[in-house]
């Protein structure tokens, strides 16, 4: 199974990146995973740029990566009560061309880390709705990590119960391979 991670934080010390790494570590043996690291290079989506044969190279790379993925792990901070615009723009690019988009039918799970104890609930809700409308086969349940600056030690989630919930969600992306 080949998993693609869409990451919404561009920050060097991102707790969402730490969460993405912890999630990838829970993938069953034999799975491959990579982070799409060019979200900041994607232009804001415009149908004027989305032209056959003239697609921005980074958008073509994204669509190929999504097409090659058997599953998506979408990890986003909450900014002003919704998902990161980086990840939203990435989903918008992956959701076109209409009818033949690479994201159509791709299994996806959503997770989010926030410094607040509310665990980015709105960002997760909005990411699920966006992914669903974009055509992904998204799992309704999500994983939210609150107080994220205190949540990791040596790259692992300190709270074992939270780590078990994360493992369970990742397992829903790769049930056949678990």
Ligand X SMILES: Cc1cc2nc3c(=O)[nH]c(=O)nc-3n(C[C@H](O)[C@H](O)[C@H](O)COP(=O)(O)O)c2cc1C
Q: Does 177 bind ligand X (CB under 6 A)?
A: no
Q: Which stretch binds ligand X (CB under 6 A): 50-58, 64-72, 74-82, 126-134?
A: 74-82
What does the alpha-carbon distance between residue 29 and residue 31 come to, in Å, rounded to a whole number? 6
Q: How far apart are CB 161 and ligand X at their closest, in Å? A: 21
Which one of 39, 71, 77, 107 is in contact with ligand X (CB under 6 A)?
77
Q: Which stretch binds ligand X (CB under 6 A): 21-29, 53-61, 90-98, 108-116?
A: 108-116
Which one of 78, 143, 145, 169 is in contact with ligand X (CB under 6 A)?
78
Q: Does 9 bind ligand X (CB under 6 A)?
A: yes
Q: Does 125 bind ligand X (CB under 6 A)?
A: no
Cβ proximity of 123 and 76 under 8 Å: yes
Triad 176, 34, 118: Cα angle to 5°: 80
Residue numbers at the binding site for ligand X (CB under 6 A): 9, 11, 14-16, 77-81, 113-116, 118, 120, 148
């Amino acid at each position: 199974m080949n998993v693609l991670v869409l990451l919404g934080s561009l920050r060097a010390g991102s707790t969402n990146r730490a969460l993405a790494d912890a999630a990838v570590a829970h993938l069953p043996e034999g799975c491959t995973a990579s982070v799409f690291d060019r979200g900041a290079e994607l232009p804001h989506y415009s149908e004027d740029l989305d032209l056959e044969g003239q697609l921005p190279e980074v958008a073509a790379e994204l669509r190929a990566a999504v097409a090659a993925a058997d599953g998506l792990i979408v990890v986003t901070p909450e900014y002003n009560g919704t998902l990161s615009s980086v990840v939203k723009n990435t989903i918008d690019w992956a959701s076109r061309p209409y009818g033949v988009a690479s994201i159509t039918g791709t299994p996806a799970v959503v997770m989010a880390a926030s410094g607040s104890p509310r665990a980015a609930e709105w960002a997760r809700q909005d990411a699920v709705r966006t992914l669903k409308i974009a055509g992904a086969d998204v799992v309704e349940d999500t994983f939210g990590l609150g107080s994220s600056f205190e949540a990791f030690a040596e790259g692992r989630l300190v709270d074992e119960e939270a780590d078990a919930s994360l493992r369970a969600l990742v397992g829903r992306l790769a049930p056949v391979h678990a």
